Amino acid sequence: MDAAETSLWVLALDADSWLSCAPSQPSAALKINGTALKCSHCGSSNTIRAHLIPRVLAKEVQVGHAHAVTKADGAISQISQSGIFDPDILCGPCDEKLGLLEEKAAQLFTAVRNQAQGLREGAIVKLPRQDDDLLRFYAALLWKYSITRPEFGRVELGKFQEPLRAVSFGSDAIPEFLDVALFRLRLDINDTGVFAYRAPSPDRKLGINLYRILVGGVLALVKVDRRPWGDRLTSELGVRGRGEVRAAVAAAKEFEEFKMAQKLAHTKPKVSSFLDKQDNVALNT
């Protein structure tokens, strides 16, 4: 059974909006004797409800009033208005530091979507890059998912967990193992919207270890591997060491990020019923 079949999915208003977390595992308690765990970065005990997928990006897929958190069998397990959060991993100040990266990333993704409008498939969008904040954004997203609860989609980073934490908060230079290749996934040539988001999902391409992440309408293949990219396209798209950010324009229908969302929305009765209800709510508000 592959990761897609055992994932958690979150579907928003329209039938093509969803989130996939990594495979669900048995729940693990994050409190000791009723006491909340301390901030995983600074050690403060004043943790807050920290969003895993940034709220600014999770809200982009929502047209109605809620998302449906569901498994691949179509069983809805949670209703959410702004994505999944974990109350036991970060304090307010640390969450705010990562929030600065998230706001900049959201602005970049909007620019990518707008510039991709009207371009042919296979075209490359290019934007100036002035710092390493995009790589730090993806490092932070991976790190948060490596310390969250298993049922929220925890991923294993192994020896890369600590370096990614340090990179997330700007205390270290970008390590050689970290890079990202971006693809603007769109529904049609004039699409500037966001049809879905997907939490980190481990993958392996041509022997290279990476994570698939879809936020802001942009699919990121995040390389966490000291070896170079295994093919020409991802090598040309890689952000590391360039003075610009590149994103390849691609048809969403060719990617698993779209195909599994369609399958869930149109073949699982409970999910379809929920989406229809949210559609009616949106039309009447």
Model confidence pLDDT, tens digit, residues 175-199: 999 999 999 999 999 999 988 788 8
Q: Torsions phi, psi of 125, nearest 5?
A: -85, 135
Per-residue pLDDT band for 266 (boundaries 50, 70, 90) equals low
Of 26 and 61, the one with more pLDDT: 61
Q: Give me 197's structure tokens.
A: 């988001």
Residue 171: predicted pLDDT:
81
In this prediction, residues 79-83 reach a mean pLDDT of 53
State if pTM tops 0.85.
Answer: no
- pLDDT category at 61 given cuts 50, 70, 90 is low
Comparison of pLDDT for 127 and 76, the residue scoring more: 127
d(CA 202, CA 44): 30
Mean pLDDT is highest, among 4-8, 141-145, 192-196, for 141-145
Residue 193 has what DSSP assignment? S
Q: What confidence score (pLDDT) does residue 146 get? A: 96
**CA nearest 127: which of 182, 54, 55, 60?**
182
Any idea what DSSP says for residue 153? T
User: For residue 6, what pLDDT band results from cuts at 50, 70 and 90?
Assistant: very low
Q: Within 13 A of 104's CA, how many CA atoms are on the CB side?
A: 16
| Dihedral angle sign, alpha carbons of residues 139, 234, 204, 199 | positive
Q: What are phi and psi of 269, to 5 degrees?
A: -55, -45
Q: Order of strands across the sheet with 67-71?
A: 8-11, 67-71, 76-80
Mean pLDDT value of segment 53-72: 60
Helix runs in the chain, H state only: 55-58, 92-116, 133-147, 161-168, 232-237, 256-267, 269-283
- Helix ranges restricted to H, 117-245: 133-147, 161-168, 232-237
Mean pLDDT of the region 250-262: 87
